[in-house]
């Protein structure tokens, strides 16, 4: 069995060997750098087996669903809000769960500092949403790296992308320090905490039951408290946040509408479009047409 190609909503970039060679010779970025980067939403039948080891570390960050992997004779299960890093020069295999396939951000990387960032990451490590979590910020870093590498191979763009990548890796290796650096003053207000929880779960289809479990309140109590403070029900406000993010992605990226739909937790792009139209007052296509900036070039700049 081989890895299935063409996952719905997938995005990936494989840096050309000429660019990798330039990176290896550059003193600024050669210490740790990306060779491949991508995002696979709900990647059913995703499977990869490498009997011939590769020279890169493989980072897989599961934000939803489940999967598994085997390395050095050990098998691990991985679920949402977990990540792991496979070492280079070791045969491995991994795949999505058949019933609840994973949604993953993945990066291949190497360099002299790579072993330092990957140390202790063979077994799955948790990145759970909480009062001080910054999951949405980390995903924003990934998107910034992806957009930069997708728009230009100029050395200054490469240097910026790889510097941001080091911050991305540090946000995982130094998880508590990363959270503490961005933490706000403790706020016991339930609505404020729930809003943060919703923002940290924008890419998932969480339910009112999930929100109540986080808040420790019954559905009726939570709905009353949240509506009094915010003016919307929790789920209505969650949709507003998703559509706000959809507008940002339509404005600032060249992602296709079905890719945005899947990224924001909507399996059906037509349902996503209906929700967008109902909330914003026009279709995603019409919104992008009205707010279009300079069209991104199809050609990469070297």
In the prediction, which pLDDT does 301 show? 32
Cβ proximity of 37 and 106 under 8 Å: yes
CB under 8 Å to 18, separation ≥6 — which residues? none
DSSP summary character for residue 129: -
Q: Which domains does the chain possess? A: 11-182 (2.60.120.280), 190-290 (1.10.10.60)
In the prediction, which pLDDT does 130 show? 83
On the CB side of 103, CA atoms within 13 Å amount to: 20
For the record, the structure tokens of 216 come out as 């420790």
pLDDT in tens, 231-282: 999 999 999 999 999 999 999 888 999 999 999 999 899 999 999 999 999 9
Distances (CA, A) of 23 to 52, 110, 150, 158, 258: 24, 11, 16, 8, 33
Radius of gyration in angstroms for the set of CA atoms belonging to the chain, rounded to a whole number:
20
Tens place of pLDDT per residue across the chain (302 aa)? 233 456 788 999 999 999 999 999 999 999 999 999 999 999 999 999 999 999 999 999 999 999 999 998 899 999 999 999 999 999 999 999 999 999 999 999 999 999 999 999 999 999 988 888 899 999 999 999 999 999 999 999 999 999 999 999 999 999 989 988 877 655 468 898 899 999 999 998 889 999 999 999 999 999 999 999 899 999 999 999 999 999 999 998 889 999 999 999 998 999 999 999 999 999 999 999 887 654 443 333 32
For the record, the structure tokens of 4 come out as 């299935």
Three-state SS letters, 3-72? CCCCCCCCEEEECCHHHHHHHHCCCCCCCCEEEEEEEECCCCCCEEEECCCCCCEEEEEEEECEEEEEEC
Q: What is the dihedral of CA 152, 157, 162, 168, to 10 degrees?
A: -90
Report d(CA 79, CA 82) in Å as an integer.
6
């Amino acid at each position: 069995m081989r890895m299935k190609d063409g996952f719905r909503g997938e995005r990936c970039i494989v840096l050309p060997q000429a660019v990798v060679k330039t990176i290896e010779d550059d003193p600024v970025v050669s210490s740790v750098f990306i060779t491949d980067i991508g995002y696979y939403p709900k990647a059913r039948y995703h499977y990869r087996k490498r009997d011939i080891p590769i020279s890169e570390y493989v980072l897989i960050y599961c934000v939803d669903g489940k999967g598994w992997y085997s390395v050095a004779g050990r098998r691990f299960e991985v679920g949402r809000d977990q990540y792991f890093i496979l070492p280079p020069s070791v045969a491995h295999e991994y795949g999505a769960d058949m019933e609840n396939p994973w949604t993953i951000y993945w990066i291949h990387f190497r360099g002299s500092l790579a072993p330092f960032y990957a140390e202790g990451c063979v077994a799955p490590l948790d990145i759970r949403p909480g009062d001080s979590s910054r999951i949405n910020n980390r995903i924003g870093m990934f998107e910034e790296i992806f957009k930069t590498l997708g728009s230009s191979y100029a050395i200054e763009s490469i240097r910026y992308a790889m510097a941001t990548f080091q911050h991305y890796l540090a946000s995982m290796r130094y998880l508590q320090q990363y959270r503490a650096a961005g933490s706000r003053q403790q706020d016991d207000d339930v609505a404020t905490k729930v809003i943060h929880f919703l923002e940290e779960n924008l890419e998932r289809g969480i339910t009112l039951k999930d929100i109540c479990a986080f808040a420790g309140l019954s559905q009726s109590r939570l709905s009353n408290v949240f509506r009094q403070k915010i003016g919307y029900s929790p789920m209505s406000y969650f949709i507003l946040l998703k559509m706000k993010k959809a507008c940002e992605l339509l404005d600032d990226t060249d992602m296709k509408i079905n890719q945005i739909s899947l990224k924001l937790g909507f399996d059906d792009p037509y349902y996503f479009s209906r929700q967008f139209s109902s909330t914003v007052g026009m279709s995603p296509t019409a919104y992008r047409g009205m707010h279009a900036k300079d069209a991104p070039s199809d050609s990469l700049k070297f």
